Amino acid sequence: MLHVDLDQFVAAVEVLRRPELAGLPVIVGGRGDPTERAVVSTASYEARAFGVGSGMPLRVAARKVPDAVFLPVDADAYLAASEVVMATLRAQPGAVVQVLGWDEAFVGTQTGDPEAYARQLQAAVLDRTQLHCSVGIGDTLIRAKNATDLGKPAGVFQLTADNWLEVMGARPTRDLWGIGAKISGRLATLGISTVAELAAADPQELAGQFGPKMGPWYSQLGRGEGASVVDDTPWVARGHSRETTFQTDLTDADQVRDAVRGLAAAVLEGVAADGRPVVGLTLKVRYAPFTTKTHAKKMPETSDRGEILARALDLAGAIDPGRPIRLLGLRADMTMPDDARTGHTPTRSGW
DNA sequence: TCTGGGGTCCTAGGACCC
DNA sequence: TCTGGGGTCCTAGGACCC
């Protein structure tokens, strides 16, 4: 199967509608104001050359590239471009398409020449959208996904059981999709720093360290093994959430209650569009400087706006009543009934 | 340097039950 | 006085991805 990833997607879409930005360092994030509290969504390759990357605070990015063009996030524009890309993929011969986000998808197909298929696919996407993409080819989804990075930009790369360890073996575990900073750090303390070392590690021992599911899953990641079937079953959302970061920390309880009310009302917009009732509510509170507390409440299935809002405010009351408040941000999650998960469930461990 | 916004899933531990 | 074993449900928190 193949994994397709659009190159610098968000920045590329912006440059398409403002051709004068081509070749300039473009940084998309927040409301496009580098003095605000927000982070980089996507930086163009020209900006990345200065060390700017996704997740970096805009203020830091501005310090690194004072001359960069800063643009606000325009989700609707990216979604529209994404839909054209995905439609183009689905129009390829024999293609089964599993969308992973705005800018990536797995494509399953039967072909004797995957490399040629990949090139053809790149040409079709470029022709229809003027966007470049990289394509990974693999004998498992994991290998295809990892291969894409090696093909960037605008290239094609193949990873199979034959060359997996040869190509990936010496790389840090952090390079694997699903292994982040924390887990790679914990692995390192166990003497596991490279992909080859992870591949050779005992799954039972990993289970002891990381739990019965995640331990063996990391072992599989190290070997590049797992599912090899692309699943195009329509996505069913597990829940809806909204998150916000305050430009200045909130310090009093009234402000917090107002913020929770507003956030919950915003989530309810997504819930209303979804149509299913709510069964659970979680409030994640980000305190300055950067600690998170969770307050959760299971609730009887309901679609009643007033009741859901009231319960959200109950949770707000649990926010540190005792000590001084310094709130950096808030996130509210609402979950749908389990039995609504009729579609396929593309879990990480399911791979 | 200082912390987005929208998602997903897993784990630990306590409460409660038989 | 000391402390079963198994199960489920719930809350809190952690981690990862794009």
The reply to whether A177 has its C-beta less than 7 Å from any atom of strand C is: yes
CA distance A109 to A13: 28
What's the Cα-to-Cα distance from A68 to each of A6, A17, A46, A63, A290, rounded to whole Å? 22, 17, 9, 10, 28
Integer distance in angstroms from CA A47 to C1' C9?
50
DSSP classification of residue A334: E
Q: Name the residues in A15-54 having a C-beta closer than 7 Å to nucleic acid strand C.
A: none
Known active-site residue A205: no
**Residue A262: its pLDDT value, please?**
84
Select A172-223's CATH number: 1.10.1370.40, 3.40.50.720, 3.40.47.10, 1.10.150.20. Answer: 1.10.150.20
What contacts A81, CB < 8 A, 6 or more positions away?
Answer: A9, A13, A16, A129, A131
User: What is the tens place of the pLDDT at every residue in A209-253?
Assistant: 888 888 889 999 999 999 899 988 888 788 888 888 888 887 777
Beta strands in chain A (DSSP E): 2-6, 26-28, 42-43, 69-71, 96-101, 104-108, 133-138, 156-159, 239-250, 278-287, 291-302, 327-335
pLDDT at A308: 80
A234 touches strand B (CB under 7 A): no
The span from the CA of A125 to the CA of A133, in Å, is 8
Instruction: Indicate whether A343 pLDDT > 70.
Output: no
Comparing A6 with A280, which gets the higher pLDDT? A6
Cα of A275 vs its chain's centroid, Å: 24
Alpha carbon distance A25, A285 (integer Å): 34
Return the CATH number of the domain spanning residue range A239-342. Answer: 3.30.1490.100
Mean pLDDT throughout A60-69?
92
Q: Which one has a higher pLDDT value, A24 or A275?
A: A24
Cα–Cα distance measured from residue A242 to residue A251, given in angstroms and rounded to the nearest whole number: 21
Whether residue A340 is predicted with pLDDT greater than 60 in this model: the reply is no
Hey, where are the domains in chain A? 1-160, 172-223, 239-342
**pLDDT class for A311, splitting at 50, 70, 90?**
confident
Domain over A1-160 is classified CATH 3.40.50.20: no
CA distances from A20 to A1, A24, A48, A139, A239 (A): 37, 9, 19, 41, 40
What is the gyration radius of the CA atoms in chain A, in angstroms? Answer: 22
Which residues does A104 contact at the CB level (< 8 Å), separation at least 6?
A: A3, A4, A5, A6, A148
A38 contact to strand B (CB, 7 A limit): yes
CA of A331 to C1' of B18 (A): 39
Q: Which residue has the higher pLDDT, A191 or A330?
A: A191
Nearest residue to nucleotide B11, by CA–C1' distance, is A211
pLDDT at A345 over 90: no
Interatomic distance A329 CA / B2 C1' (Å): 13
CA–CA gap between residue A292 and residue A30 (Å, rounded):
21
* Tokens (6 digits) for A95: 């293609």
| Of A20, A36, A104, A115, catalytic | A104
pLDDT at A180 over 60: yes
pLDDT level of residue A64 (50, 70, 90 thresholds)? very high
Query: pLDDT value at position A69?
Result: 94
Give the model confidence (pLDDT) of A144-161 as tens digits: 999 999 999 999 999 999
Asked if A270 and A305 count as a contact pair (C-beta separation under 8 A), the reply is no
Q: Give the pair of three-digit tokens for residue A15.
A: 């440059």
pLDDT reported for residue A290 = 67
Q: How far apart are CA A195 and CA A170, in angstroms?
A: 6
Q: How confident is the model at residue A339 (pLDDT cuts 50, 70, 90)?
A: low
The tens digit of pLDDT for each residue in A105-125 reads 999 999 999 999 999 999 999
pLDDT value at position A323? 57
Task: Considering only residues 299-318 of chain A, list those whose CB is below 7 Å from strand B.
Answer: none
Q: What is the pTM of this model?
A: 0.88
Q: Which nucleotide is nearest to A288 (CA to C1')?
A: B3
- Highest average pLDDT, of A90-94, A313-317, A344-348, comes from A90-94
Residues A297-324 have a mean pLDDT of 74
Q: How confident is the model at residue A28 (pLDDT cuts 50, 70, 90)?
A: very high
A338 touches strand C (CB under 7 A): no
Cβ of A317 < 7 Å from strand C?
Answer: no
Mean pLDDT value across chain A: 86
State the pLDDT confidence band at A65, using cuts at 50, 70 and 90: very high
Instruction: Using a 7 Å cut-off to protein CB atoms, list the covered nucleotides of chain B.
Output: 1-12
Q: How far is the CA of A124 from the C1' of C16 (A)?
A: 32
A73 Cβ contacts chain C strand, under 7 Å = no
- Residue A218 CA and nucleotide C9 C1' are separated, in Å, by 28
From CA A2, how far away is CA A89, in angstroms rounded?
Answer: 11
Query: Does residue A191 lie within 7 Å of nucleic acid chain B, judged by its CB?
Result: no
A239-342 and A1-160 share a CATH fold: no
pLDDT confidence band for A27 (50 / 70 / 90): very high
State which amino acid sits at residue A237: A
